[in-house]
Amino acid sequence: MSTIVTAAPDHQMNQAEASDKKMQEARDFYENTLKSKLEPEFNNQFIAIEPDSEAYAVANSSGNAMRAMHKTHPGKPVLLMKIGPEPETELAIRILGSEALARLRQK
């Protein structure tokens, strides 16, 4: 695993760190609470989790899961992942890449 470090003002780094922490909280919530409830019945579907409220939506596509969460929690950060044993690496890369791009555009 490689780490990318970029120079940014402190407030931007703090926002990025806070976002990373929220996403880790959502992952922990999935692993510790939801995984046993959802797998294997919902394998290969998608889950979107809003970390602060621990609200979540399960759908047959990533877009549907995200839209469901954004309807009830607009403007909130959401973790999106595929349910089941196979990681969705490309999806994670697209999401993380779009977040990094959004941060660059804010500069």
| Predicted confidence pLDDT, tens digits, the chain (107 residues) | 222 333 444 445 467 777 788 889 999 999 999 999 999 999 999 999 999 999 999 999 999 999 999 999 998 888 999 999 865 566 666 666 666 656 666 66
Q: Which residues span the domain enclosing 80?
A: 12-101
Domain membership flag for residue 31: yes
- The DSSP code sequence of 79-96 is EEEE-SSS--HHHHHHHH
For the entire predicted model, the pTM comes to 0.67
Q: Could you give the CA distance from residue 4 to residue 76 in angstroms, rounded to a whole number? A: 25
Q: What is the pLDDT of residue 10?
A: 47
In-domain check, residue 56: yes
Using alpha carbons only, what angle is made at residue 70 by residues 104 and 21, rounded to the nearest 5 degrees? 55
What is the pairing mode between strands 79-82 and 46-50?
Answer: antiparallel
| Total domains, the chain | 1
What is the structure's pLDDT at 2? 28
Domain annotation covers residue 44: yes
